[in-house]
A and B are shown apart, each in its own frame.
Chain A
Amino acid sequence: MQLVCDQFQETGDPAFSKRVKEVSESGLERCYQCLTCTLSCPVAFAMDYPPHQIVRMVQLGLKEQVLRSSTIWICASCLSCVTRCPNEIDIPHLMDTLHQIALHEGVAAKEPAVAMFHEAFLAPIKKYGRQYEAMMTIGYMLRARQFSPKDLLNNALLGFKMITKRKLKLLPPHSIKGAKEIRGIFEKTEERGK
C-alpha cells in the first residue's frame, strides 16, 4: 500500500504496525480518531504530528514518518491521554515502544536532546543499580554539547550550592544489593533488542 502526502511517499509496512501492536500491547487498532488524546496533551503544540495522527500512522504502517517524528520524543508520559481515551489505548507505552524501535533501527532522533537525556538517566542505574544525580547531570551536559561555557559555569555553581545544602551527593552512592542483576537486566534487554 502506497501512501502519499505532500512531502512524503511511503509504502505502508504491515509488519511494522503488527510489531508495534504486539510490543506495545496498547490496543491501538481500537482507535476511532476522536482526538481526545491530542486535545488533552499538554505538549502537543510542540509536536510535528499530534498523538492521534501517530496512532493512525502506526495503523497504516508508515514506519519512516513515525520514527522520524518529533512526537515520539516530545511525549512527556503524563498519561492525560490514557486517562481520557475512550478505547483505553496506552499512548505513552506506544511512544516508548517507538523509541525502542527507533534506537534499534538506528534512526536519528528528531529531538536528540531527549534521547540523550534518556541515555544519561539510565547510565548511573546500569552502573550502580540506582540513580546518581551528579553523574546523570554531567553525563547529559557532556552528551548534549549545546551548553555555552556560561551555562556550564552557572550549572556548576548551582550544583555546588546543592551539594552544600545536601540536595545532591558528590560522591558515588553505594551500589545496591542486586546491582549485578540490574546490570544483567540491561544486558539482556539490549541483547533482545538486537
Chain B
Amino acid sequence: MEKRIGVFVCHCGLNIAGTVDVEQVVEAVKDYPDVVYAGNYIYMCSDPGQELVRTTIREQNLNGVVMSNCSPLMHEKTFRRVATKAGLNPYLLEIANIREDVSWPHENEKELATKKAISIVKMAIEKLKRNVELTPMVVPLHKRALVVGGGIAGITAALEIASAGYEVIVVEKLPYVGGHAAQLAGTFPTLDRVPCLMAPMIAKMISHPKIKVYTNAEVDEVSGYVGNFIVKIKTSPSYIDEGKCNNCGLCLEKCPVTCPSEFDCGLAERKAIYITPPETMSQKVLIDPGNCLHLNGDECRACEEICPTKAIDFLQQGITVEKTVGAIIVATGYGLWDKKNIPEYESDPDVIDGLQFERILSPSGPTGGDIRRPSDGKVPKQIVFISCCGSRDPEHGFTYCSRVCCMYIAKQAVLYSRTVPGGQAYVFYMDIRSDSKGYEEFVKSAMEEERVLYLRGRVSKLFRDGDKIKVWGSDTLSGKSVEISADLVIMATAMTPREGAIALARKLNVTVDAIGFLTEAHPKLQPVETLTTGIYLAGTVQWPRDIPDSIASTGGAVSKVLSMFSRKELLHEPTIAWPDEEVCSGCGICASVCTYNAIEIDPIKRVAKVNEAVCESCGACIASCPSGAMRHKNWNARQFMDMIDIATGAYV
C-alpha cells in the first residue's frame, strides 16, 4: 500500500522554535520519500493544533503521522487519541521528540540543533514506514481483591474496598488480626486509647459480608497477572474444633507448657494452648504447634482429656484454598530491630524496647496498666529513653531514620509521667523529629507540662549497679557528661522490614530495596504501586510510618484498586514481544531473563510462548535471544537499522 505520511512540527511557543528552526525542519522533510504533508504550528497540543492534525489526516488521507514535538510521555496519548478520532490506527502515529532531546539540551548550538531535529524526524518517518496496525488487548478482570496482612493498614484496605461493593480476602499470618497497632497503649498526639480505635474496625471487618478473613494463614503461591492473579492460601490448623469449643478455658489451666506470649512481647507467659488476646476482638482457642508437647511427640494429652466438649482435634489439618483475584494489596507491616544486636543491652531484663513498654503502659497489658518493671515488679521512679537504637546508626544497624520513635517516646513519657507521680523521665536524643500536625506541640507539652527532661546526646554505656541501671551519656547542650541511675531503660529500636518480607516479595514478584522494604514503582509519582501491575503497597511494608501515614498510603492503594475495578475490562498495550515460531529453537534463555515471568516454553511445540497480558515490553528477551526469533511489535530490528542509517548518515 502506498505510504502517505504527514509530519507536524510543533513550536511549543519558544521552547522548540527558540532553538530549532522549525521552518527549516518542514522544508527538509517536505520532499522526503512518502511524505505528503509537512506543516508547523505554535502549539500542536492546543485545540486548534489538534484540529489541524485531525483535518489534515482526513483531507490528505494520511496513513501515517509523525508528531515532532515534546516527549512521548507528555502527549503520545493525546495525539493517538486524535488519530483514532480521525480514523487512523493510533499505532501508526510516532512521536519525534525534538524538545527534551534537542531544543532544551542544545540551546546554544542552534544550527546543529536544527540538523539534529531534522535527523530525528527522519528517523521517526523511517520507523513509521514499517509500523503495523495494532489494537490494545482486552484482559479479563476479576473484581476481587486480596489484602495480605491484617494490621491497621490491611483492615482499612479491606473495609474501604468492601464498602465500594467488591469482595475482599484478608490473609493474616497470626491467629488474630489487629497487628502491631493493637499492641499499643495509646496514640500520639491525641493519646487515644487504641482499643477505641481498633475495636470498631475489627468488628466491622469480621462481620462484613464481602470480606473473608483467613487468620493463621499465609500466601503460599501467586501466579497470573493483573486482573487474574491466582493465589493459593495455606492456613495452619488450630487443632480446635471451633464449632465445639465454648471458650471455657479449662484446657488453659491444665496445659503443662508455658511459653512467652508474643502479643505481650515476652513480658507475660501463656500456655501452649491459649486464647487470642481481647484487643484483637476475637476469642479463639488454639494450640501452638511449636510448643505443644503432644504435637512434638510426647504422650501429653492434658487438654484433650479435660475438654468437656471434646473440641480438641490433634489430627486437624491445615487447608489450602485457591482464589482468583484482580488486585493485591500488600500490608504486611514492619518488624523491630532486635535489641540483641547490642549485646550489652540485651542481657538485662529492665532494658526493654519501645513495643514492650507499650505493653507495660497498656491497661490490658501484663501488669494490668500499672507501670512495673519486668525484673522485680517495682514501680520505676527514674526511666531513661534512648532514641535511635539501630536507626541513623550505620555502625550497628541502619542509616535511615525510623520516623516514629521521637513521637512515641514523647507519648510514652507523657503516659508514664501521668501514671507515676514523682517519676522522672529522661530522653537521650540526637534530633527531635516531630514533623506532622500537632506533633511539635505535643513534644513541647511533654517538656513543659510533664517535665520530661530531654538530653541531647548519645548514651555511651549502660551497666547494672545493684538495683539500678547506670546510664552514662552526655548532654551536648551543656557540654557535660551525665550519669543517671535508672530503674528502667527503654530503647527506641528501629523499624525494620518484617521477617519473611523478602520471601513474600519473591512470591509476588515485586522488588525490595537493599534493606528489605518493598519498593514502589516511582518514589514521587507512583508511591503506592509496585513494578508489577495490580500489586499495591500499604503502610509500613514500604517504609517506617506512623498510623496516619499508613492509613493515607492505604487510601492511595485502595483508590488504585477501585479505579481499576471501576472498569469493565482491562486494556493492555499491544506493543509486546512475540516469538517467530519458525525460528525459535525453544532454548529457554528468554524465559530465564524475563522479570515478569511472561514467557514459558510450550511443552508440545518446544517454542517460546509469550503471555501477552503479562509482557511489559521491556525487550530483555529480544536482546537475549540467540537466534533472533523474539521480535517486538512495531519495534523490530529492521526498524532500528533504518533509524540507525539515518542517524549516522546525517553526520557523515
Q: A residues touching B (Cβ–Cβ < 8 Å)?
A: 1-5, 14, 18, 27, 29-30, 33, 53, 56-57, 59-60, 62
Residue B343 at the chain A interface, CB threshold 8 Å: no
Contact B483–A27 (Cβ < 8 Å): no
A119 CA / B54 CA spacing, docked (Å): 96
User: Given A59-B453, A60-B453, A60-B475, does the pair A3, B481 have CB atoms closer than 8 Å?
Assistant: yes
Contact A53–B478 (Cβ < 8 Å): yes
User: Given A33-B477, A53-B478, does the pair A1, B451 have CB atoms closer than 8 Å?
Assistant: no
A27 CA / B456 CA spacing, docked (Å): 19
Contact A2–B453 (Cβ < 8 Å): no
Contact A1–B478 (Cβ < 8 Å): no
Contact A56–B451 (Cβ < 8 Å): no
A14 — which chain B residues lie within 8 A by C-beta?
424, 451, 453
A4 CA / B460 CA spacing, docked (Å): 14
Contact A4–B480 (Cβ < 8 Å): yes
Contact A18–B481 (Cβ < 8 Å): no
Chain A to chain B: the 6 pairs with minimum beta-carbon distance, closest first? A2-B483, A5-B480, A4-B481, A3-B480, A56-B478, A29-B448
Contact B451–A30 (Cβ < 8 Å): no
Contact A56–B481 (Cβ < 8 Å): no
Which residues between 375 and 434 of chain B lie within 8 Å of chain A, taking CB atoms? 382, 424, 426
Question: Which residue of the partner chain, among A2, A3, A18, contacts B478 with CB atoms under 8 Å?
Answer: A3
Q: Tell me, rounded to whole Å, the shortest Cβ–Cβ distance linking B449 to chain A.
A: 9
Closest to A59 in B: B453
B479 — which chain A residues lie within 8 A by C-beta?
5
A5 CA / B478 CA spacing, docked (Å): 9
A27 CA / B453 CA spacing, docked (Å): 14
A97 CA / B480 CA spacing, docked (Å): 24
Closest to B476 in A: A33
Chain B, residues 197-227, CB within 8 Å of chain A (1/0): the string is: 0000000000000000000000000000000
A57 CA / B483 CA spacing, docked (Å): 15
A10 CA / B456 CA spacing, docked (Å): 18
Closest to A1 in B: B484
Q: Tell me, rounded to whole Å, the shortest Cβ–Cβ distance linking B83 to chain A.
A: 60
Beyond the given A3-B483, A29-B448, A56-B478, could you list 11 further A-B residue pairs with CB under 8 A, ordered by the A residue number?
A: A1-B426, A1-B453, A3-B475, A3-B480, A3-B481, A5-B478, A5-B479, A5-B481, A29-B451, A30-B444, A56-B477
Contact A29–B447 (Cβ < 8 Å): yes
Most B-side CB within 10 Å, residue of A3, A27, A56, A62:
A3
A152 CA / B447 CA spacing, docked (Å): 52
A33 CA / B456 CA spacing, docked (Å): 11
A56 CA / B482 CA spacing, docked (Å): 13
Chain B, residues 442-485, CB within 8 Å of chain A (1/0): the string is: 00100110010100100000000000000000010111111111
Contact A30–B483 (Cβ < 8 Å): no
* Interchain Cβ contacts under 8 Å between A and B, 30 examples: A1-B482, A1-B484, A2-B482, A2-B483, A2-B484, A2-B485, A3-B478, A3-B481, A4-B480, A4-B481, A4-B482, A4-B483, A5-B478, A5-B479, A5-B480, A5-B481, A18-B451, A27-B448, A29-B447, A29-B448, A30-B447, A53-B478, A56-B477, A56-B478, A57-B478, A59-B453, A60-B453, A60-B475, A60-B480, A62-B478
A14 CA / B451 CA spacing, docked (Å): 9
Closest to B454 in A: A59
A1 CA / B484 CA spacing, docked (Å): 4
A29 CA / B453 CA spacing, docked (Å): 9
A27 — which chain B residues lie within 8 A by C-beta?
448
Closest to A21 in B: B451
A2 — which chain B residues lie within 8 A by C-beta?
482-485
A14 CA / B485 CA spacing, docked (Å): 14
A33 CA / B448 CA spacing, docked (Å): 15
A56 — which chain B residues lie within 8 A by C-beta?
475, 477-478
Q: Tell me, rounded to whole Å, the shortest Cβ–Cβ distance linking A6 to chain B.
A: 9
A23 CA / B293 CA spacing, docked (Å): 65
A56 CA / B475 CA spacing, docked (Å): 10
A1 — which chain B residues lie within 8 A by C-beta?
382, 426, 453, 482-485
A3 CA / B448 CA spacing, docked (Å): 22
B382 — which chain A residues lie within 8 A by C-beta?
1
A33 — which chain B residues lie within 8 A by C-beta?
456, 477
A18 CA / B477 CA spacing, docked (Å): 19
A3 — which chain B residues lie within 8 A by C-beta?
475, 478, 480-483
A60 CA / B484 CA spacing, docked (Å): 12
A59 — which chain B residues lie within 8 A by C-beta?
453
B480 — which chain A residues lie within 8 A by C-beta?
3-5, 60
A96 CA / B447 CA spacing, docked (Å): 23
Contact B448–A30 (Cβ < 8 Å): yes
A56 CA / B481 CA spacing, docked (Å): 14
A30 — which chain B residues lie within 8 A by C-beta?
444, 447-448
Q: Tell me, rounded to whole Å, the shortest Cβ–Cβ distance linking B381 to chain A.
A: 11
Q: Tell me, rounded to whole Å, the shortest Cβ–Cβ distance linking A75 to chain B.
A: 19
B483 — which chain A residues lie within 8 A by C-beta?
1-4
B447 — which chain A residues lie within 8 A by C-beta?
29-30
Closest to B451 in A: A18
A29 — which chain B residues lie within 8 A by C-beta?
447-448, 451
Q: Tell me, rounded to whole Å, the shortest Cβ–Cβ distance linking A130 to chain B.
A: 40
Q: Tell me, rounded to whole Å, the shortest Cβ–Cβ distance linking A152 to chain B.
A: 43
Closest to A57 in B: B478
Q: Tell me, rounded to whole Å, the shortest Cβ–Cβ distance linking A68 to chain B.
A: 16
Which residues between 471 and 513 of chain B lie within 8 Å of chain A, taking CB atoms? 475, 477-485
A53 CA / B475 CA spacing, docked (Å): 12
B456 — which chain A residues lie within 8 A by C-beta?
33
Which residues between 330 and 357 of chain B lie within 8 Å of chain A, taking CB atoms? none
B477 — which chain A residues lie within 8 A by C-beta?
33, 56
Contact B478–A60 (Cβ < 8 Å): yes
A1 CA / B456 CA spacing, docked (Å): 15
B482 — which chain A residues lie within 8 A by C-beta?
1-4
A29 CA / B445 CA spacing, docked (Å): 10
Q: Tell me, rounded to whole Å, the shortest Cβ–Cβ distance linking A97 to chain B.
A: 17
A66 CA / B477 CA spacing, docked (Å): 15
A53 — which chain B residues lie within 8 A by C-beta?
478
Closest to B447 in A: A29
B424 — which chain A residues lie within 8 A by C-beta?
14
B475 — which chain A residues lie within 8 A by C-beta?
3, 56, 60
A60 — which chain B residues lie within 8 A by C-beta?
453, 475, 478, 480
A67 CA / B424 CA spacing, docked (Å): 23
B448 — which chain A residues lie within 8 A by C-beta?
27, 29-30
Q: Tell me, rounded to whole Å, the shortest Cβ–Cβ distance linking B374 to chain A.
A: 23
A59 CA / B453 CA spacing, docked (Å): 8
B481 — which chain A residues lie within 8 A by C-beta?
3-5
